[in-house]
Amino acid sequence: MFKPFAERSIEKMKEVLMTPEASGPDVHYYMIRGGKDKTNITVWECGMVGREYIKTYGHYHVGNISETYSIIQGTGILLLQKRRVASDGQPINDEIDSFKALKVKAGDKIFIEPELGHLIVNTGDIWLVTSDDSPVYPDDVDPVGLPGHADYEAVKVMGGFAYFVIEQGGHPTLVKNPKYKIVPEAQII
């Protein structure tokens, strides 16, 4: 039986930060995975890494897996991005067909369609806590820290999502990730 707890360090997060050399908390978020039966709990540290808010790494799902997130406490911004699909059916990592940045808060329940890459940014002064129902496969190499239902590589190669969420004039603001070739205009709603 695997230990159901893992933490995401700043070392790993440097792969997807707007400013990888910026200093921030040692651990950006904590995960307790119970899978579909017990649910998964994620706890975000609050604060910044440079000008960027603390966020989860972000991933796409492998296969046809949807996910429902419940916000238990705190406030944040959910980023959803959909990749363009090539004629051979393969998604194109640096071409984004649709991008959404949605404000979320305690009490919200969000259904995430299978093809949407997702991450959540903690924009509040307290720990952001969510519950979700994605699966856990005990035979994965790292079932809690890097679950096999999630594709992190496609985000790693792009150095993060299509937009970063930074603090500007006291408010969260979107900044385009220059590594993407095609990105629709977006704003926080």
Positions that interact with Fe ion (CB under 5 A): 67, 134
Q: Which is nearer to Fe ion, 112 or 165 (CB)?
A: 112
Q: Which is nearer to Fe ion, 22 or 31 (CB)?
A: 31
Q: Smallest distance, Å, CB 150 to Fe ion? A: 5
Q: Which is nearer to Fe ion, 118 or 166 (CB)?
A: 118
Q: Which is nearer to Fe ion, 117 or 166 (CB)?
A: 117
> Which residue shows structure tokens 């096999």?
148
With contact defined as beta carbons under 8 Å apart, do 128 and 44 qualify? yes
Q: Smallest distance, Å, CB 20 to Fe ion? A: 23
Residue 116 and residue 100: Cα distance in Å, rounded?
10
Q: Which is nearer to Fe ion, 20 or 145 (CB)?
A: 145
Provide the 10 A C-beta neighbour count for residue 72. Answer: 16
Q: Smallest distance, Å, CB 83 to Fe ion? A: 15
With contact defined as beta carbons under 8 Å apart, do 104 and 189 qualify? no
Q: Smallest distance, Å, CB 38 to Fe ion? A: 16
Q: Smallest distance, Å, CB 67 to Fe ion? A: 5
H or E element in which residue 154 lies: helix 153-156
**Who contacts 163 (Cβ-Cβ below 8 Å, separation ≥6)?**
79, 99, 101, 174, 175, 176, 177, 183, 186
**Who contacts 156 (Cβ-Cβ below 8 Å, separation ≥6)?**
15, 16
